[in-house]
Structure 1
Amino acid sequence: MAMSDLLSTEEIKAAVGAFSVAESFCYKKFFEILGLKKKSQEDVKKVFHILDKDQSGFIEEDELKFVLKGFTPDGRDLSDKETKALLVAGDKDGDGKIGIDEFITLVAES
């Protein structure tokens, strides 16, 4: 399954394009522009599984760095600072990774 099966190409381009400059990433605005918050919990879970590249059941820090590329190959890598900020925002139990329930909560908070 591809992101474009769940989200419109226009929304993906707009969301990734809005954060094309380093140190500009804001997950709340990103999810808002994507329209992800309006999606069903099942669709949010599908997005999680696409971003969980190694299918470990978690989105680890090394996967978070490439989160924009998970939506489109044209996306940039997040900086270390942006990656850590996203991890801190999503990692509610402090285990150093984002599980599916934490991801759902992260999207809902946006």
Structure 2
Amino acid sequence: MHGTTTSHSTASSLTTTSPNGTAHAARETSARRDPLARRLGLGASGDRAADDRGAATAEYAIATMAAVGFASLLVVIMQSDEVRGILTDLVRTALTVGG
């Protein structure tokens, strides 16, 4: 095998063995394997929006926090005597008109 170059690939690294038996790290053909390149948007296609894993989870978290904030505001508003009186009058009016 004198004069040949062989490549050994694993899930985490790619090495090339030179004819004299020395192993060298080979350049990866795709930046998709490199997490830093993926975060910087240096993928093979160059499209930063291509990797949107976790986006739905983040959107759900933001929507949930907004809903919790709105519910907290409603609880505070509903505890005031003025609002409670207005709602009580509204319900009484609705029941008397319908009945």
Normalized against structure 1, the TM-score is what? 0.21
Structure of greater relative contact order (alpha carbons < 8 Å, 6+ residues apart)? 1
